[in-house]
Amino acid sequence: MLVDRVKIKIKAGNGGAGAVSFRREKYVPNGGPNGGDGGKGGDIVFETSKDMRTLSDFRFHKKFHAQDGEKGKDQNKFGKAGEDLVIKVPLGTVILDAETGKVVADLNVLGQRIILKGGNGGKGNARFANATRQAPRFATPGRKTVEREVILELKSIADAGLVGYPSVGKSTLLSVVSAAKPKIAEYHFTTLSPNLGVVSKNDNSFIMADIPGLIEGASEGAGLGHYFLRHIERTRLIVHIVDVSGMEGRDPVEDYFAIRKELENYSHELAMKKEIVVAAKMDIPDSEVGLEMLKEELEPLGIKIFPISAVTKEGVSELIDGIMDELKDIPVPEPLEEEGVLEEWQDYQDNFTYEITRDETGMVNVDGTLIDSIFERIDPEDPDSMRHFEKLLIDYGIIDALRKFGVKDGEEIRMDGEPFDFVD
Ligand SMILES: Nc1nc2c(ncn2[C@@H]2O[C@H](COP(=O)(O)OP(=O)(O)OP(=O)(O)O)[C@@H](O)[C@H]2O)c(=O)[nH]1
Ligand SMILES: [Mg+2]
């Protein structure tokens, strides 16, 4: 089964916590603070590959968490940064926000792109020493990151897309004009997932996509047609292959219009793309008859027909010239517009800070934008909401941080100025 749409979870690494530690020297009873900063969490990086053709790697692997940064250490040593997690995807993969369906990123160029940034490490206590506070007993926690659920959707990037009924010779043509080695056989639906090949001639080249055969009703899902048509949504030129040999007992003119109808039903935009027609299997006797029928119907409509035989290679070179000629005048499609999701996510994360301090009276205070945002999400009158509140405190590492800070069971603390009893 073709896998070209998957839902996965991604999360950049948390920042490591800053350390609380003091110098220990011979004869020096109370050395200065020397707790180092925590390391930055690893990023989530997507890398496009032109050799990957499906998203099947994601069928069973759906959770991608980059490494957390290490905690800071004593002697002013920084914690190690978490390793980035590089996720390889086929060229042409679109990332959508699973919650809103918004376009997060359109990975339509070869290379790497950071999608989620790792959390910054917390600051060690060494950083908090000043003239009046010589022995700070606190450090800041690393920045926690948020897990995001995204949908990966593959929309192949190709200049020319081969469409047509099953067994008309699409894959055979691709194998003859490029280095691609698609499966070829006389039965229908030999091709089960799109194949890409680079076609080069003289100093020019373009990418050709071979998709599985279409049948009537493809636009409504017959033969998985819908999935396949997605792959040619972004091709610049449609190369419509019609078997004119009559060897399957079908009428080439009817075939042509039936496929046109499916393209139109799928999307008007797709149907509006420039198209050229290839009359295939010209080496077979009787194909001349089919070619004439097709010419008679299509030439008055201004449609160009290229007769070829992938077996004898007759007409193939002229077809490549013809495709290159058409592509000269068709602009490269713009990538999908990214809808500001990455900025929103980053913003959200950047604002997530909190600090634990102990004031002159000994009271522990927890403040910061993270606390604000948690309070925004709870209703103190509602027990369910308060359970959620506790869970959030645990998830964001605040309980742990308080415990490490030295808060004892039953001790009263203030969060955002509100009194709470710290109960483990
Ligand atoms: N005689 C002749 N046979 C051809 C030619 N091109 C393809 N064939 C044969 O037609 C059959 C189908 O070819 P494929 O290339 O697999 O067809 P397809 O359009 O990719 O088919 P699906 O992947 O099933 O949609 C194979 O048996 C090929 O050998 C040609 O130019 N001449
Ligand atoms: Mg095929």
DSSP annotation string for 339-352: -SHHHHHHHHHHT-
Mutational pocket test of ligand 1: of 162, 165, 167, the residue with most ligand atoms within 8 Å of the beta carbon: 167
Q: Is residue 107 part of a domain?
A: yes
Clarify whether residues 60 and 193 are in a common domain.
no
Q: What is the pLDDT of residues 369-385, one digit of tens each?
A: 788 777 766 667 777 76
Q: What is the pLDDT of residues 138-164, one digit of tens each?
A: 677 788 888 999 999 987 778 999 999
Q: How far is the CA of 369 from the centre of ligand 2 (A)?
A: 56
Q: How far is the CA of 301 from the centre of ligand 1 (A)?
A: 27
Stretch (H or E) spanning 95:
strand 93-97
**How many Å apart are CA 111 and CA 277, to the nearest integer?**
34
Q: Whose CA is nearest to atom 5 of ligand 1?
A: 281
State whether the beta carbon of 213 lies less than 6 angstroms from ligand 1: yes
Q: How far is the CA of 48 from the centre of ligand 2 (A)?
A: 24
Q: Is residue 280 part of a domain?
A: yes
State whether the beta carbon of 112 lies less than 6 angstroms from ligand 1: no
User: What token pair was written down for 302?
Assistant: 């201004």
**How many Å apart are CA 163 and CA 229, to the nearest integer?**
9
Q: What is the pLDDT of residues 256-283, one digit of tens each?
A: 999 999 899 888 988 999 999 999 999 9
State whether the beta carbon of 316 lies less than 6 angstroms from ligand 1: no
Can you tell me the mean pLDDT for 99-127? 91
State whether the beta carbon of 284 lies less than 6 angstroms from ligand 1: yes
Clarify whether residues 183 and 56 are in a common domain.
no
Closest to 92 in 3D by CA, of 76, 116, 113, 109: 109
Q: Is residue 338 part of a domain?
A: no
Clarify whether residues 174 and 318 are in a common domain.
yes
Residue type, 332: V
Residue type, 357: T
Last residue of a domain, one of 123, 154, 185: 154
Is the pLDDT at 348 greater than 90? The verdict is no
State whether the beta carbon of 98 lies less than 6 angstroms from ligand 1: no
User: Using the 8-state DSSP alphabet, how is residue 292 labeled?
Assistant: H
Last residue of a domain, one of 87, 120, 154: 154
CA 71 to chain centre: 30
Stretch (H or E) spanning 269:
helix 268-271
Across the chain, what does the average pLDDT equal?
88
Residue 149 is predicted with a pLDDT of 97
* Ligand 1 atom nearest to CA at 309: 31
- Considering 56-65, 351-360, 388-397, the range whose residues carry the highest mean pLDDT is 56-65
Is the pLDDT at 116 greater than 80? The verdict is yes
User: What token pair was written down for 32?
Assistant: 């200065």
Number of structural domains (the chain) is 3
Clarify whether residues 146 and 164 are in a common domain.
no
Q: Is residue 343 part of a domain?
A: no
Residue span of the structural domain in which 360 resides: 352-424
Clarify whether residues 146 and 13 are in a common domain.
yes
Clarify whether residues 6 and 92 are in a common domain.
yes
Q: Is residue 344 part of a domain?
A: no
Q: What is the pLDDT of residues 223-250, one digit of tens each?
A: 656 677 877 888 899 999 999 998 888 8
Q: Which residue has the higher pLDDT, 389 or 275?
A: 275
Phi-psi category of residue 416: left, alpha or beta, with phi > 0 → left and psi -120 to 50 → alpha: left
**How many Å apart are CA 354 and CA 129, to the nearest integer?**
19
Mutational pocket test of ligand 1: of 171, 172, 195, the residue with most ligand atoms within 8 Å of the beta carbon: 172
The CATH number of residue 216's host domain is 3.40.50.300
User: What token pair was written down for 28?
Assistant: 């020096």
Go through the chain and tell me how many residues it has. 424
Q: Is residue 336 part of a domain?
A: no
Question: Would you place residue 1 in the very low, low, confident or very high pLDDT band (cuts 50, 70, 90)?
Answer: very low
Give the full edge-to-edge strand order of the sheet including 111-116. Answer: 85-90, 44-49, 111-116
Clarify whether residues 114 and 260 are in a common domain.
no
**How many Å apart are CA 360 and CA 88, to the nearest integer?**
53
CA 302 to chain centre: 40
The CATH number of residue 145's host domain is 2.70.210.12
Clarify whether residues 190 and 298 are in a common domain.
yes
Clarify whether residues 148 and 179 are in a common domain.
no
Clarify whether residues 208 and 59 are in a common domain.
no
User: Using the 8-state DSSP alphabet, how is residue 285 labeled?
Assistant: T
Is the pLDDT at 100 greater than 50? The verdict is yes
Last residue of a domain, one of 154, 179, 197: 154
State whether the beta carbon of 191 lies less than 6 angstroms from ligand 1: yes
Closest to 277 in 3D by CA, of 251, 256, 300: 256
Residue 230 is predicted with a pLDDT of 78
Q: Whose CA is nearest to atom 1 of ligand 1?
A: 281
Please say whether the beta carbons of 129 and 136 come within 8 A. yes
The predicted model scores a pTM of 0.63
State whether the beta carbon of 240 lies less than 6 angstroms from ligand 1: no
Is the pLDDT at 289 greater than 80? The verdict is yes
State whether the beta carbon of 162 lies less than 6 angstroms from ligand 1: no
Q: 193: which residues sit within 8 A by CB, 6+ positions away? A: 2, 4, 53, 54, 212
* Ligand 1 atom nearest to CA at 280: 31
Please say whether the beta carbons of 153 and 94 come within 8 A. yes
Clarify whether residues 60 and 166 are in a common domain.
no
User: What token pair was written down for 254?
Assistant: 């009817």
Q: Is residue 142 part of a domain?
A: yes
Q: For the ranges 97-101, 138-142, 305-309, 406-410, which has the lowest average pLDDT? A: 138-142
State whether the beta carbon of 73 lies less than 6 angstroms from ligand 1: no
State whether the beta carbon of 87 lies less than 6 angstroms from ligand 1: no
Clarify whether residues 149 and 166 are in a common domain.
no
Closest to 81 in 3D by CA, of 123, 115, 116, 37: 37
Residue 388 is predicted with a pLDDT of 72
State whether the beta carbon of 197 lies less than 6 angstroms from ligand 1: no
State whether the beta carbon of 172 lies less than 6 angstroms from ligand 1: yes
Can you tell me the mean pLDDT for 316-327? 96
Q: Is residue 340 part of a domain?
A: no
Q: How far is the CA of 94 from the centre of ligand 2 (A)?
A: 25
Q: Which residue has the higher pLDDT, 262 or 309?
A: 309
